[in-house]
Amino acid sequence: MAESGSSVEFSGTLTSSNLPPARTRIFKIIVIGDSGVGKTCLTYRFCAGRFPEKTEATIGVDFRERLVEIDGEKIKIQLWDTAGQERFRKSMVQHYYRNVHAVVFVYDVTNAASFRSLPAWIEECKQHALGTEVPRILVGNKCDLQDSVQVGTDVAQQFADTHSMPLFETSAKNPNSQEDGGNSDHVEAIFMTVAHKLKSQKPLVLSQPPVGSGGTVNLSKGGTDGGEGSRSWGCSGGC
Partner 1 sequence: MKRLKNKKQKAGVEVNGNGSVTREPDCGRKQKLSEINQALISDPVDIETLRRAAASKGGLLTDELRRKVWPKLLNINVYDLPHKPGRDVRENHKDFNQVVLDVTRSMKRFPKGMPASERAVLQEQMTDIILEVLKRTPQLHYYQGYHDVAVTLLLVVGERMTIAMLDTLSNHHLRDFMDPTMDSTKHILNYLMPILEQVDRELHDFMIRAEVGTIFALSWLITWYGHVLSDFKHTMRLYDFFLASHPLMPIYLAATIVLHREKEVKKTECDMAMVHHLLSRIPQDLPYELLIGQAQDLFDQYPPSLLAKRAALQPRKSLSISTFQAFQLATLHQRPDTVLQRLTKAQGSSTSRQAPRQSGLEAALPQEQGRLWGKGNRMVKMAVWGLSATLGAAVFAVAQTAMDWGPEVLLQLF
Which residues of this protein are in contact with partner 1, per CB under 8 A? 1-3, 5, 8, 11-12, 15, 26, 28, 35-36, 54-63, 65, 78, 83-85, 87-88, 90-93, 95-96
For residue 27, give the 3-state DSSP assignment: strand
**CB 93 → partner 1: shortest distance, Å?**
8
**CB 58 → partner 1: shortest distance, Å?**
8
In the sheet that 136-141 helps form, which strands lie side by side, from edge to edge? 61-70, 73-82, 25-32, 102-108, 136-141, 167-169
* Whether the Cβ atoms of residue 81 and residue 62 lie closer than 8 Å to each other: yes
Looking at the Cβ atoms of 5 and 119, the one nearer to partner 1 is: 5
List the beta bridge partners of residue 169. Answer: 140
Q: What's the angle, vertex CA 63, arms to CA 36 and CA 27, rounded to 5? A: 110
Tell me the C-alpha distance between 132 and 121, whole Å: 13
Looking at the Cβ atoms of 87 and 202, the one nearer to partner 1 is: 87
Q: Which residues are CB-neighbours of 169 under 8 A, at least 6 positions away?
A: 109, 139, 140, 143, 153, 156, 235, 236, 238, 239
**CB 215 → partner 1: shortest distance, Å?**
30
Looking at the Cβ atoms of 110 and 224, the one nearer to partner 1 is: 110
**CB 26 → partner 1: shortest distance, Å?**
8
**CB 202 → partner 1: shortest distance, Å?**
23
Q: What's the angle, vertex CA 232, arms to CA 99 and CA 235, rounded to 5? A: 115
Looking at the Cβ atoms of 64 and 136, the one nearer to partner 1 is: 64
Looking at the Cβ atoms of 111 and 193, the one nearer to partner 1 is: 111
